[in-house]
Amino acid sequence: MPTTNPFFSSTTGYSGEQQLLDDLTREQIKIFGLDVAYLPRVMVNYDKLLHESTVSAFETCLNIPMYVKTFDGYDNNMEMLTKFGIRSSDQVTLQMSRSEFETYYSPFLKEYYEANGGLDPLEGTIAGRPKEGDLIYFPMDDSIFEIKYVAVDTPFFQLGQGYIYEIQCERFEYSGEDFHTGIADIDDTVEADFYKLTFQLAAGGTGTFEKGEKLTIYNVSDIENPTLDAPDPVDPFRLYFEAGFLEDVDTVNAFVTTWDLPSGELVASDFTNVDPNQQDGVTQDVDVIKFEKVLIVGDNGGSWLSDSVETTAKPFDDADTIQDEFDQIKILDPADIDPFGFV
């Protein structure tokens, strides 16, 4: 049977030739590439039905040299004004050495994943290659990109082997992920604009707060004369940890976004447990927040009680306007069996 020339095969190369191509690939990346930070994703609240996590955390970063294939600028470089603000759809294609990743990074990632809930390819957690959902931080323009697709066969098996991972990335859109890498330039890159609470603190508190400081929030709504000390025993919140499921939550953590001592106004974001607004028993408006009467204690020693709380307005958010218009036209009928409670 006829075959291709075994002395010039492009699909069954020899180990020496493969090693030469791999060395040349790594050398080119080190000469023409740049150092970026690779942030592996930890799935905090993994859904085994959908094989996806509703909550993700990024707690470490790895310095990895990569070559920017789209060297002449971001692909799809458009900025669109949407209801949720300005959306950037920048895309970038990166290349990293496969052998270098498997040698230096895969062993660490395997231990890291196992320490954070296990290592299971079916659950989207693998250590052998970079994976979709992980993030890349570009220090040159202080931006974060999300890995959308990892091509493992580009270029197509030169001498019977692959030498790079080609990573297609898109500008990352924040949706409640926890960033605690310990590197300020990364942790401060994204603000939790999608959900913030503004607390009006009562006079008589002690200490102060700093931007980015971790807060511990205690429920004191049922305590007649709360003090600035943590309640003992703790009166738990009744919060929706997952949609539709109430559970007891002893404390809630958040981080300081802004703090104004003269006015006593504290804006916090990145809550560990977010309680959806509850329905008011009188007006039937969905505007009751269970964090209204709380004790807020900072890691730096600040301790204050809150008088009130409201959801911080988001850019281009017209929910309050729509609610006001609806309140003017709605007709409340207590006998109405409609699930929405209105006629």
Count of alpha carbons within 13 Å of 110, Cβ hemisphere only? 9
Q: Give me the pLDDT at residue 29, please.
A: 92
The more confidently predicted of residues 4 and 106 is: 106
pLDDT over 80 (residue 117): no
pLDDT over 80 (residue 98): yes
258 class by beta-carbon count within 10 Å (0-12 exposed, 13-18 middle, 19+ buried): middle
Sketch the domain layout of the chain as residue ranges. 15-185, 191-329
Q: Give me the pLDDT at residue 343, please.
A: 44
- Read off the pLDDT band of 310 (50, 70, 90): confident
The more confidently predicted of residues 187 and 144 is: 144
Q: Give me the pLDDT at residue 200, please.
A: 93
Among the ranges given (25-29, 42-46, 147-151, 320-324), the one the predictor scored with the smallest mean pLDDT: 320-324
Q: How many CB atoms lie within 10 A of CB 173?
A: 14
- Read off the pLDDT band of 129 (50, 70, 90): confident
pTM of the complete model: 0.61
- Read off the pLDDT band of 240 (50, 70, 90): low
Sign of the CA dihedral with 219 first, then 221, 227, and 228 last: positive
Mean pLDDT of 90-116: 88
pLDDT over 80 (residue 97): yes
Q: Report how far residue 65's alpha carbon sits from residue 34's, in angstroms, rounded to the nearest whole number.
A: 5
Q: Which two tokens stand for residue 323?
A: 């609610």
Q: Give me the pLDDT at residue 125, please.
A: 66
Buried b (16+ CB within 10 A) or exposed e, 57-86: bbebbbebbbbbeeeeebbeeeeeeeeeee
Mean pLDDT of 230-254: 77
Among the ranges given (15-29, 84-98, 252-266), the one the predictor scored with the smallest mean pLDDT: 84-98
Q: Give me the pLDDT at residue 185, please.
A: 78
Mean pLDDT of 29-48: 85
